[in-house]
Amino acid sequence: MDILHQLGLTDWNVLWAGLLSPLLRLVFFIAVGLMIGNLIEALNWTHGVARIAAPLVRMGHLRDVAGASFSMAFFSTVTANTMLAGSYEKGEMSRRELVFANLFNSTPSFFLHLPTMFFMAVPFIGQAAVTYVGLVLAAAVLRTLGTVIMGRMMLPPLPEGCITCILENERSKGWGDALRKSWKRFLRRMPRIVYITVPVYVLVYVLTRTGGFDAMRDFMTEHVTVLAFLNPEGLSVVILHLAAEFTAALSAAGMLLQSGALSPRDVVLTLLVGNILSSPMRAFRHQFPSYAGIFKPGLALFLIGINQALRAASIACMAVLYFWWTRSV
């Protein structure tokens, strides 16, 4: 009974709020994203949407679906990833091209969360919020530009003048035909997505309720003492970033800033370090269930791993630059 109670199986309200409701919401948004992605492909809108990112796509030797996915990522990362997964499964892009196309979406994916992050941070840390959010945004832009540069070096160039390389013979002849094709693809792919997403999400729920993530957090917390360059009071902000959500870290940072224990510079540095250290655990908890439903689980882990490694490296780069730029201030 203890394990049932711990998992919330004896309390319908806990089970609904903690597992069933968010799981149904996740599956719903994946289904909507899948259908939108299928419809965009069927109507061949990828060519038009890709023009927004055409210069970078051309420079990075990426295909048009990467440009379309980049544009859609400003509105829905699920739809953007669904478009890439569909193109990859049809053999229109290689695994390496898929990796670069996924990394290419760093900046638009960040813009999805930028307003919430910024307007949440300002009441707590004031002007330091502008610096912090600006540095995280600069890291996202750095990842996208780095992807373009590496893509140009590692991917084969596309045929002369070719940015729109999705097969024209798959273009639908109208809305009716497009809806039929989209629905057919939806019925073929959605069951597999559900079969994978649901068990993965349940696993994450179990780990959360039984303290699995707490154990990971405690392990990481024990090792933050190596961050000697941080103000000692700032370590509490880093630990809260690991132990709870971003809001808790902001609350502690704001209190320490108001009391004078931390300067705005200290606040920015501690939040950047907390962001880096908390990202892997947060990514697995929030990204892996949806990624595993869109891509195969092994590929999903691979993509998340590369994304998080580059994300940590780019934010660390911004933190080092900020540290040295402001060291005499």
pLDDT reading at 172 higher than 60: no
pLDDT in tens, 293-323: 888 888 998 999 999 899 999 999 999 999 8
CB atoms within 10 A of CB 70: 26
Alpha helices, DSSP H only, in 104-162? 106-125, 127-154
Q: Are 318 and 135 in contact, with CB atoms under 8 Å apart?
A: yes
Q: What is the token pair recorded at 144?
A: 């996208």
Which residue type sits at 107? T
Assess contact for 237 and 252: CB atoms under 8 A.
Answer: yes
pLDDT of residue 52: 66
Q: What is the CB neighbour count within 10 angstroms for residue 83?
A: 29
Q: Which H/E stretch holds residue 316?
A: helix 297-325
Inter-axis angle of helices 95-103 and 77-89, to 10 degrees?
170
Q: What percent of the chain has pLDDT over 90?
A: 17
For 189-206, what is the mean pLDDT?
72
CB 222 within 8 A of CB 216: no
Q: Which tokens is 10 given? A: 């004896």
| CA pair distance 270, 257, nearest whole angstrom | 12
| pLDDT attached to residue 87 | 86
* pLDDT > 80? residue 102: yes
pLDDT at 227: 55
Residue 106: pLDDT over 80: yes
State the pLDDT at residue 41: 64
Query: What's the pLDDT score for residue 245?
Result: 62
Contact 64, 83 (CB under 8 A): no
The pLDDT tens digits of the residues spanning 34-75 come to 677 667 666 666 555 556 677 888 888 888 788 888 888 887
- Split at pLDDT 50, 70, 90, the class of 143 is very high
The HSE-up count of residue 120 (CA atoms within 13 Å, CB side) is 14
In angstroms, the CA 324 to CA 41 distance is 47
**pLDDT tens-digit profile of 242-295?**
665 676 777 778 877 876 777 898 889 889 988 888 777 777 777 788 788 888
Kindly give, in sequence order, each residue whose CB lies less than 8 Å from that of residue 267, ignoring residues fewer than 6 positions away: 125, 128, 132, 234, 237, 253, 256, 257
Burial code of 157-192, b = ≥16 C-beta within 10 A, e = fewer? Answer: ebeeeebbbbeeeebbeeeeebbebbeebbeebbee
Residue 157: pLDDT band by 50, 70, 90 thresholds?
confident
236 or 135: whose pLDDT is higher?
Answer: 135
Torsion of CA 194, 198, 204, 210, to 10 degrees: -170
Mean pLDDT, all residues of the chain = 77
Exposed/middle/buried for residue 267 (C-beta within 10 Å: 0-12, 13-18, 19+) = buried
Residue 151 has pLDDT above 60, yes or no: yes
Tens digit of each residue's pLDDT (9 = 90 or more) over 85-100: 888 988 888 999 999 9
Task: Print burial letters for 276-303: b (CB count within 10 Å at least 16), e (below 16).
Answer: bbbbbebbbbebbbbbbbbbeeebbebb
pLDDT confidence of residue 321: 93
What is the per-residue pLDDT across 121-141, written as a single tens digit (0 to 9) for each?
888 888 899 999 999 999 999
